[in-house]
Amino acid sequence: MPGSALYGAQTQRAVDHYPRMGILFPLPVIRAMAAIKRHMAAVHGDLGLLSPEVSRAVMTAAREVEEGRWDGDFPVEVFQTGSGTGSHMNVNEVLAGRANEILTGARGGKRPVHPNDHVNMGQSTNDVVPSALHAATLIFWEKELFPALARLLSALSGKAAEFSGVLRVGRTHFMDAVPMRLGDAFKGYARQVSLGMERLASARARLLELPLGGTAVGNGLNTHPGAAARVISLLASETGIPFTPAANRFEAQGARDAAVEASGALKTVAASLWKMAQDLRFLSSGPDCGIGEIRVPALLPGSSFMPGKVNPVICEVLVQAAAQVIGNDAAITTAALSGGLELCAAIPVIARNLLESSLLLARAAQAFSEKCVEGLSADMARTAGNVEKSLATVTLLAPIIGYDRAAALAKEAHASGRTVKSLALSRGLVTEEDWNAMLAKI
């Protein structure tokens, strides 16, 4: 097993005895734990609770873990003890083993740096792992998810402006409705993204609270009373994310409500993006025998059997990613229900799914912007032709001739194969100028 000299006996027992399912505990949470350990070693060194040599060695080892130098030494899988103790001790032992190598030249072991007494001083799995989960999630949101959604918002807003003059047939229940502006539909999509970002920002406020300092059950037994607050302040300063001590550590350790809320916000974003992707699939369908009012970029051959076929592949990527996010939310919610008394005993699966959902939405939104939305074009002839022949345009006449006469006119147009406009003009109900003025008001 690679790195077995670096991680210690408790990690090896976890590797040997947990069922092997091929899904490792998420590295972003491992690295967030390492950051917490690094800052804790610095604070304990300042307080005189660790020697300067041990403090510096642990800090160096932690920094290396954060940089990914020892990624292969974290073999514990997601499906482990519900607190995440297997992965937490994996971190403690890797840091102690590497710190000992820094100090003595011999990797591993418990001297002069002990994984529990020194690396884990004043900490418990039950306050460190939830804190690392919150930190890892928000660091990813700031670096990846919010920028990806911001790009999508910009792309959709740009298309809203570009398509502001394009009239198309509106559709409700998948049936023709009154005309509308294509740009207005994209304004709606942009607003969905904007509101999704607001929902994530709201959930972010609860994720900012870290239970660090609560140790096993929330009462802070065996930890220096000021250490955790100092670590949280250092983490906030370093990341630019305003982490704060939890207002109530018993809540922050006994429940995973903040993660459930965050997952719910991610699920809402997923539902919004799914709706947009589906709309673009419908509007681009055909292109000759479907709606065909917009053209999506042709990225790759769409069929192994039908030459020249182009599929809305990125829309389908987004739909599938959204489906996974919705499934992850169900798992997170169910896992959070397993909280018993002072601890939620399913934190690893929550961590894995929350981070995967964040990753999926960030990558899918980025691809949707870059490979689909930014390259969309409108088929002006198709949109204008569909508006011209739509029976729903009779609604424009209803205020003039009344609902019943308008309905009868629509039925006659359908039966005769003529357009509503041509019938209305031939009967003197409106002039060409009147008709165009009514369309211009949409």
Rounded to 10 degrees, the C-alpha dihedral 434/435/438/442 comes to -150
Are 186 and 156 in contact by the 8 Å Cβ rule? The answer is yes
The residue among 230, 231, 212 whose CA lies nearest residue 220 is 212
- Alpha-carbon distance 63 to 85, whole Å? 21
**Amino acid identity, residue 432?**
E
Residues tagged active-site: 173, 303
